[in-house]
Amino acid sequence: MSNFDYIRAADFDRAWLNFELDLPLEPGKDGKPNPFYIRRPGDPIGELNDALLAPFYKAPKFFFSGHRGCGKSTELLHLMGNPNIRKNYWPVNFSIRDEADIIDLDFRDILLAIGGRMFREYRRQGGVLPARLLKDLDGFRGRVEEEITTVKAGRVADTEIGAGLDAFFANASLKIKLEPKTRSIIRQVIERDVTGLIDVINAISAAVKLKEGRLPLILIDDLDKPNLQEAKAIFQERREIMMQPTCAIVYTVSSALFYSKDFDSIRDRALFLPNVKLHTHNFPDQYTREGYETMQRFVSLRMDPGLIEDQALIEAITYSGGVFREMARIMRTAIGRARRRKGAQVESVDVEWAATEIRNEYRRILDKEDLDILKKIHEKNRLEYNDRIRPLLQLLALLEYRNGENWCDIHPVLRKLLYE
């Protein structure tokens, strides 16, 4: 997406593109924020920014959470582009999806991904690592390859150790991601010498710091995707190991893990990215101006405001529930309809159409019990985090907000569904 032109749409076709759900907002090369990036009310990411920039004795590790579609990936990219961060850190941002299989994820996969990605990224940027480190790494590679012939990168000359290691890490990552059998063997090999892998990571980290004068900062996106059980196995049962790398790391974690009791002890190292609040707690008709303005800005940066009626925009914002992805979805669907009917502007009817379509999608996946729970929550806006509510939060049928006390409400498109 590096060649994507982040320009404001003047017609529906372009607007359709700009409201792409998976549009990554990469920062500009000059460190400027992405043109579509908007600051959130309260600047919650500033908290993480400050924490990273604070003096530290041990390389900091943070946990970054938030509900689906709230903009975590965008904020990580934005964080990476922050000049102050870049000044103090050598940042590497990647999605664990690219390195491992997130439906069968293990702490060893993540550690290997951290080491491999850091190594490859540094070499990709033209960095040169000390020969001794390369030899050490090659020894590690040899130990792995002894047991797993399929990850062999091919015979390499001594002078090509670096390239061979590149291939090895890339290959191991690919195998871990796509081949369950090899994944299992690699994990066994690592299990026998987890410390050895930590040493590899730390050696690469130390070498980068020495060369660049900045500590590597690893921002790992999509670690919130594994299920709660797997997440607990990684971040609770293996927490100490996950804290051992000497580079700074921001792990994304799911809201389910964030709210689990076992997470209490490290909650001070965690930041939760809230949805944009559109109304006050218990008063759904009392709109929050700041929230509406934020969402309005989200739209106006991507599309000429003249392409949507004011009232339609307000309705779209209301239906979004303050979730950026949902806002993009509603806008895109409404734009599609306005485009098909050859309208000049997105009108209320288009927005209503989009809301109905989303409502129908939920109608299919929510059962009566879900609807009963949602009804209760909608009446009291009280968040009681439990197993029954978790999937509803995951499906965004339930949206969580924070202003002082945490509270929640249903996805606004569902209101009609509850009272049919």
Residue 23 vs 206, nearer CB to other proteins: 23
89-95 and 248-253 strand pairing:
unpaired
- Tokens 């940066």 locate to 301
Residue 168 CA to chain centroid, in angstroms? 27
Asked if residues 122 and 204 have their Cβ atoms less than 8 Å apart, the reply is: yes
Shortest approach of other proteins to residue 206 CB, angstroms?
31
Please report the beta strands in 245-392, taking only residues with DSSP state E, as ranges in sequence order.
248-253, 270-273, 279-280, 283-287
Q: Which parts of 15-34 interact with other proteins (CB under 8 A)?
A: 16-17, 20-22
Q: Which of residues 309-338 bind other proteins (CB under 8 A)?
A: 325, 332-333, 336
Nearest distance in Å: CB 53, other proteins: 30
Between residue 182 and residue 201, which ones bind other proteins under the rule CB under 8 A? none
Q: How far is the CB of 353 from other proteins (least distance, A)?
A: 6
345 binds other proteins (CB under 8 A): no
Please give the size of the binding site for other proteins, defined by CB under 8 A.
37
* Region from 14-22, 78-86, 127-135, 256-264 binding other proteins, contact rule CB under 8 A: 14-22
Which listed residue (8, 68, 123, 239) binds other proteins by CB under 8 A?
68
Measured CA to CA in angstroms, residue 30 lies from 26, 90, 94 at distances of 11, 15, 20
SS3 for 131-175, per residue? Answer: HHHHHHHHHHHHHHHHHCHHHCCCCCCHHHHHHHHHHHHHHHHHH
Contact pattern from residue 83 through residue 112 relative to other proteins, giving x for each residue in contact according to CB under 8 A and a dash for the rest: ------------x-xx--xxx---------
Q: 24 or 31, CB closer to other proteins?
A: 24
Q: Using an 8 Å Cβ cutoff, are 75 and 261 in contact?
A: no
* Tokens of residue 400, six digits: 């969580």
User: What does the block give as tokens for 47?
Assistant: 């908290």
CA–CA separation, 215 and 243 (whole Å) = 15
Q: Name the nearest CA neighbour of 271 among 76, 4, 56.
A: 76
Least distance in angstroms from the C-beta of 407 to other proteins: 22
**Nearest CB to other proteins, comparing residues 13 and 191:** 13
Choose which of 10, 11, 13, 310 interacts with other proteins (CB under 8 A): 13
**Shortest distance, CB of residue 364 to other proteins, whole angstroms?**
6
What type of residue is 343?
G
Q: Please choose, from the candidates 292, 347, 216, the residue with its C-alpha nearest in 3D space to the C-alpha of residue 331.
A: 347
In the complex, least distance from residue 287 CB atom to other proteins, rounded to whole angstroms: 18
- Which phi and psi (to 5°) does residue 353 adopt? -60, -45
163 binds other proteins (CB under 8 A): no
**In the complex, minimum distance from the CB of residue 181 to other proteins, in angstroms, rounded to a whole number:** 12
Phi, psi of 56 (to 5 degrees): -140, 155
Which residue type, as a one-letter code, is found at position 121?
Answer: E
The answer to whether residues 354 and 329 touch, using CB atoms and an 8 Å cutoff, is yes
> Out of 27, 44, 66, 69, which residue is the one contacting other proteins (CB under 8 A)?
69
Q: Is 344 in the site for other proteins (CB under 8 A)?
A: no
Pairing state between β 61-66 and 248-253: parallel
* Nearest residue (CB) to other proteins, 94 versus 263: 94
Query: C-beta of 21: minimal distance to other proteins in Å?
Result: 6
Among 340, 376, 380, 388, the residue binding other proteins under the rule CB under 8 A is 340
In whole angstroms, the minimum distance from the beta carbon of 391 to other proteins comes to 7
Candidate segments 46-54, 297-305, 358-366, 368-376, binder of other proteins by CB under 8 A:
358-366
322 vs 305: CA distance, rounded Å: 19
Per CB under 8 A, the list member of 11, 43, 262, 361 interacting with other proteins is 361
Give the DSSP H/E element, type plus range, for residue 253.
strand 248-253
Residues contributing to the site for other proteins (CB under 8 A):
13, 16-17, 20-22, 68-69, 95, 97-98, 101-103, 225, 325, 332-333, 336, 339-340, 347-349, 352-353, 355-357, 360-361, 364-365, 391, 394-396
